[in-house]
Structure 1
Amino acid sequence: MSYFTWKDAGLTSDCASLEAMASRFEEAARLMRRMADQGFVLERNNGAQRINHTDAAVFNAWGFVDEEPAVRQLTLMQDLDS
């Protein structure tokens, strides 16, 4: 299953006002709702929050980088010569 780790660092660190902070939080909330609507889910693993999706094509279409170990990302293909 494709996933990336959610790190909440600096979401509002460059905001100059409370209004700007609120706008940034609202923007992030809209994005998270869209992701949930597309089938992304949040999972906790060893204290880390991972956002994952069971369909690698959907995950890749969003432009996320899969953090799953390379050996888990391999897709076995049927030998067409058999």
Structure 2
Amino acid sequence: MTYFTWKEEGLTQDCETLDSMAARFEESARLMRKMSAEGFKVEKRNKRQIITHIDSKVFNDWGFVSEEPPYQQLTMILEEEIK
């Protein structure tokens, strides 16, 4: 039997068929396109891809938790309170 190893982890780890893997990728693609349309961006920092948004309210509305250092998060909160 010929085969190859599928190395992607996380997104399709619990899928048991190629159809379920395809559905997972399609669902993820729809979400990524919607995020892009709402202004989210991908940036490379320290050899990692991170998802960013310039508006912390939009970021929070999506339910994401910021990984910024606490002092930067506090600065963002204070700037929003001033507006």
TM-score w.r.t. the length of structure 2 is: 0.79
- The structure number with the bigger radius of gyration is 2
Question: SS at the partner of 1:66?
Answer: coil
- Higher RCO (C-alpha 8 Å, min separation 6): 1
Distance in 2, matches of 1:9 and 1:37, equals: 26
Partner of 2:60: 60
Partner of 1:5: none
Greater helix proportion: 2
**Deviation at 1:56?**
0.3
**Deviation at 1:74?**
1.4
Query: How much is the aligned-residue C-alpha RMSD, in angstroms?
Result: 1.4
TM-score w.r.t. the length of structure 1 is: 0.80
- Once the two structures are aligned, what percentage of the paired residues are identical? 57
Deviation digits for residues 7-45 of structure 1, max 9, x if unmatched? x74100100100000000000000000000000000000
Partner of 2:70: 70
Partner of 1:4: none
Aligned residues: 70
Partner of 2:24: 24
**Could you list the runs of 5+ residues in structure 1 that have no partner in the other structure?**
1-7, 78-82
Question: SS at the partner of 1:26?
Answer: helix
Counterpart residue identity of residue 45, structure 1: R
Counterpart residue identity of residue 74, structure 1: L
**Could you list the runs of 5+ residues in structure 2 that have no partner in the other structure?**
1-7
Question: SS at the partner of 2:36?
Answer: helix
